[in-house]
Structure 1
């Protein structure tokens, strides 16, 4: 047994079943070891390491276990870094295997040599740079332990000459310990916040992903306090739209009831969230924050009372201390407004289905109707996230993944591959924009190779739509040269790669397209030709944003009058999007 084989054996013992990567140089010893029929680990050969890292992060999140990706020597490992940053910020355990040049060549500016330790210092919680066969099992196990305990990214670096050496250090090998410890807050902290809550008239619960294991307690507390629940996008698959007292989201892609629930409360109870947008948090009310990560408390807003503890353990104690509130006017009003908002957003009669290009909302509305109740959805950043957040209901056991903290483009499709690879019979949807899909579409052929029947909705509006919104809010005119995209027929591309797809240019064809995608046993692309001028407004518009938008429209009108065809088309597309909302 050589060092590479020993490392793979250790990974097998912690339940690793696959590695995402592009082989070469220092990794060839690993892929050679995986050739035998008795190997329990599969090599998923992606076309770009970044996609492999995105897929590994999604796998780790859906399985709650260590996932592994790999890149060889300098360039291959560097390609991993953006996907690993996403895993870091989503707090999932991912281990990256890095090949490295032989020890004799280190420090000589050798071909493909890169100082990887410095580069990966920020993204990794631990880096195991293997300097001898003897130390390999010790540092590899340490890396695995840290990744699983801290839900963190770690890296092991294996010089090519060490990978082929005879394995040693077997006396260091031990079972990996998995912690089931729960951080229980002190009675003093719970008594303090209970007094504050009992004296308040209007309490709002703002719940994040840290509530994944305590949804029932959150709902119980909400009912006892007559408190509305606003949630983050990442926790949309925890708190469903039809759960009692849920009033939606705040933030740029939130809704009015979610926004007002947070901003009009006497006491805001933040549970397991590090929501980053401070302009959507109040600065004139009492804020209580409960989080097991102490560094999160007070990180985004002026917190009056912080509680260091697991959300579930904290709420179990708090439920016994708070008094029931009889006044339901605050929550009742917000729930009523939320119901009205949902009805307006999802009423097909508000759309002129003959309008071309198609209103993008119609696709998500139809997917919501036809997708299974245990479907997994991945979403890219940009406008695709807006349509998903506003028109997809998370019912049953539906799950959601995306780049909610790192905010990177091109995560949606490779994340869908990561989920599908470990859930072959589950319905998996990637909701992506044309700009994001264009960055990672080379790995569609990887999905074909491994028979992963992911369903990909590509919003094809031939521009970087969310960047356009950002520009206009800042007062800039639409810049066609920077925002315009030249796209292929994505459905034909799917077929060329050996998958399947359909291009949809008429609204009446949407239901059939969704049905075809669901029935397909191949990777399937819906090329959704949609209106680039569709407007989506935040739940609250500041004077600065209104002024910026007004400046932008004035500039665009003047440029259109001067004869710029791109500006005229942009204004006409926006008019089409606006008319169906009136």
Structure 2
């Protein structure tokens, strides 16, 4: 047994079943060791970043260690963006880095890169293996840290050590997983209970940290008549159809979610590090409960901060909370949220068949047709707006994305990661044309491994969300930077050995989604949509209104001067607005 085989055996012992990567000289010993192995599969992606994104999604779905790999400097550097996503989603991922032989290290050898410095910020632990004897020791330490801290770790293996005879077996031991639950003190619970019992208008802002306490959050809400606002990341924990839920706040939120947070006397933040301080109140009393103490007070001034597990905290708190009878604050917000949902349902009706199509039409149909345990991934950009506004994650549906890192091109590779460990589950990637264009080379990988992912590509030939940001800041639309020249994505899917359909008419949407669901192959819906579709945030500041106004004035003046791009942009926006 050589060092590569020894490391693979350690990975098998902790339940690793696959490695995402692109092989090369420093990793060839690993791929050779996997020859004929039935326990660990090598998923040969076309780009290492896609492999890292896929590994992140795999770790989120399995709650176990996922592994990706890159060879020497260039290959390992390609992993870094996907690993940052893993870090910010707080999931255990191990990156294996090949490295040049020890004799060449420090000589600026071909493809040599000082990886430790580069990965210092993203990794909770890094080890450069300097001898065969220390290999099992540092690999086990890396795995232990990744699982316990839900973090990214990296192990670097020089090519000459990878083929050496394995040693250091006396260091091998089972990987131990912590099962401790952080329970707040009686004093902390009493402070929270006292503040809740005294307050009249309470709102719960529930984050992904409530995943194991969903029923307790709903019960507390009913007991104290508190509206529940959730984050996009917790949309598959707290659903828009749940009682007392009033939606999201933030740039892609809705008015009832925004007002619930801003008009509360007391805001109870549970398991969330919601990042947008301008959508949090300045003058309300705030209680924050979080397992990670560094999150408390990170975004806004907190009056009572408690470190603790949300489930344990709410269970301990329940007996100390007095039921409230006055539900006026809650009832008004729920009524407004229901009106908002009804409006969204009406403007996404298939009768609203202006062409190019409204993007929300696709999401409305998909919401009805997808299975109750479907998994969805969403990319950064306008696609996230349509998911937030039109997708209900009831039942056992899941939603994954780059919610904290905010990277483009995460949707499709994350869908591959989910499908690889859930072969019979319905998996959708909801992506923009800009994001998909960054990672579409690995559609061939999905075909190769028979992963029947379904990809809804919003094709408006534009970086749509960047356009919104540009106009909000007062700039005129810069078509030379925003415009995208796209292929026919459905034909591309067929060329790769998958399947697809291009949709330009509302009457074809249901058929396209049904075809995708039924397809045993990777499937692309090329959804041709209006680039002028507008989606406003739930609250617009004077500064934002002024910026948008300046942008429109500039665009009108440029269109008068025969700028066809500006004229077409304004016409698309007008058509979309008056047909909503």
TM-score normalized with structure 2 length: 0.99
State whether residues 290 and 309 of structure 2, in contact with CA within 8 Å, keep that contact through their aligned partners in structure 1: yes
| Cα distance between partner residues in 2 of 1:212 and 1:580 | 39
| Cα distance between partner residues in 2 of 1:76 and 1:132 | 23
Partner of 2:570: 571
Question: Structure 2, unaligned stretches of length 5 or more?
Answer: none
Task: List per-residue Cα deviations over 1:390-427 (Å, max 9, x = no partner).
Answer: 00111110000000000000000000000000000000
Partner of 1:376: 375
Task: List per-residue Cα deviations over 1:180-202 (Å, max 9, x = no partner).
Answer: 11000000011011111111000
| Cα distance between partner residues in 2 of 1:525 and 1:272 | 36
Task: List per-residue Cα deviations over 1:25-70 (Å, max 9, x = no partner).
Answer: 110000000002x441000000000000000000000110000000
State whether residues 348 and 361 of structure 2, in contact with CA within 8 Å, keep that contact through their aligned partners in structure 1: no
Partner of 1:5: 5
Partner of 2:109: 110
SS of equivalent residue, structure 1 residue 424: coil
| Cα distance between partner residues in 2 of 1:286 and 1:226 | 17
SS of equivalent residue, structure 1 residue 248: coil
SS of equivalent residue, structure 1 residue 377: strand
Post-superposition offset of 1:352: 5.4
Equivalenced residues, count: 580
Over 3 Å counting, the alpha-carbon distance change for 1:494 and 1:349 in structure 2 is: closer
Post-superposition offset of 1:350: 6.3
Matches within 5 A, 1:114-125: 114-125=113-124
Post-superposition offset of 1:304: 0.5
Partner of 1:19: 19
Matches within 5 A, 1:148-297: 148-297=147-296
SS of equivalent residue, structure 1 residue 69: strand
SS of equivalent residue, structure 2 residue 123: coil
Partner of 1:76: 75
Post-superposition offset of 1:353: 3.3
Q: Which runs of 4+ in 1 moved over 3 A?
A: 348-354
State whether residues 233 and 389 of structure 1, in contact with CA within 8 Å, keep that contact through their aligned partners in structure 2: yes
State whether residues 50 and 82 of structure 2, in contact with CA within 8 Å, keep that contact through their aligned partners in structure 1: yes
Partner of 1:34: 34
Instruction: Indicate whether 1:339 and 2:345 are aligned.
Output: no
Matches within 5 A, 1:492-531: 492-531=491-530
Task: List per-residue Cα deviations over 1:419-461 (Å, max 9, x = no partner).
Answer: 0000000000000000000000000000000000000000000
| Cα distance between partner residues in 2 of 1:15 and 1:565 | 58
Matches within 5 A, 1:38-49: 38-49=37-48
Post-superposition offset of 1:349: 7.3
| Cα distance between partner residues in 2 of 1:369 and 1:192 | 44
Partner of 2:320: 321
State whether residues 350 and 580 of structure 1, in contact with CA within 8 Å, keep that contact through their aligned partners in structure 2: no
Question: Structure 1, unaligned stretches of length 5 or more?
Answer: none
Matches within 5 A, 1:343-422: 343-347=342-346, 353-422=352-421
State whether residues 461 and 529 of structure 1, in contact with CA within 8 Å, keep that contact through their aligned partners in structure 2: yes
Higher alpha-carbon deviation: 352-361 or 157-166:
352-361
State whether residues 352 and 580 of structure 1, in contact with CA within 8 Å, keep that contact through their aligned partners in structure 2: no
Matches within 5 A, 1:45-56: 45-56=44-55
State whether residues 2 and 166 of structure 1, in contact with CA within 8 Å, keep that contact through their aligned partners in structure 2: yes
Post-superposition offset of 1:355: 1.3
Post-superposition offset of 1:354: 3.4
State whether residues 85 and 405 of structure 2, in contact with CA within 8 Å, keep that contact through their aligned partners in structure 1: yes
Post-superposition offset of 1:351: 6.7
SS of equivalent residue, structure 2 residue 239: coil
Post-superposition offset of 1:129: 1.1
Partner of 2:431: 432
State whether residues 434 and 487 of structure 1, in contact with CA within 8 Å, keep that contact through their aligned partners in structure 2: yes
Post-superposition offset of 1:238: 0.5
Task: List per-residue Cα deviations over 1:126-156 (Å, max 9, x = no partner).
Answer: 0021000000000000000000000000000
State whether residues 16 and 67 of structure 1, in contact with CA within 8 Å, keep that contact through their aligned partners in structure 2: yes
SS of equivalent residue, structure 2 residue 240: coil
SS of equivalent residue, structure 1 residue 502: strand
State whether residues 52 and 68 of structure 2, in contact with CA within 8 Å, keep that contact through their aligned partners in structure 1: yes
SS of equivalent residue, structure 1 residue 249: coil
| Cα distance between partner residues in 1 of 2:478 and 2:348 | 33
| Cα distance between partner residues in 2 of 1:426 and 1:247 | 29
State whether residues 501 and 524 of structure 1, in contact with CA within 8 Å, keep that contact through their aligned partners in structure 2: yes
Matches within 5 A, 1:446-485: 446-485=445-484
| Cα distance between partner residues in 2 of 1:25 and 1:354 | 54
Post-superposition offset of 1:348: 5.0
State whether residues 348 and 358 of structure 2, in contact with CA within 8 Å, keep that contact through their aligned partners in structure 1: no
Over 3 Å counting, the alpha-carbon distance change for 1:549 and 1:352 in structure 2 is: farther
| Cα distance between partner residues in 2 of 1:159 and 1:410 | 31
Partner of 1:548: 547
Matches within 5 A, 1:132-151: 132-151=131-150
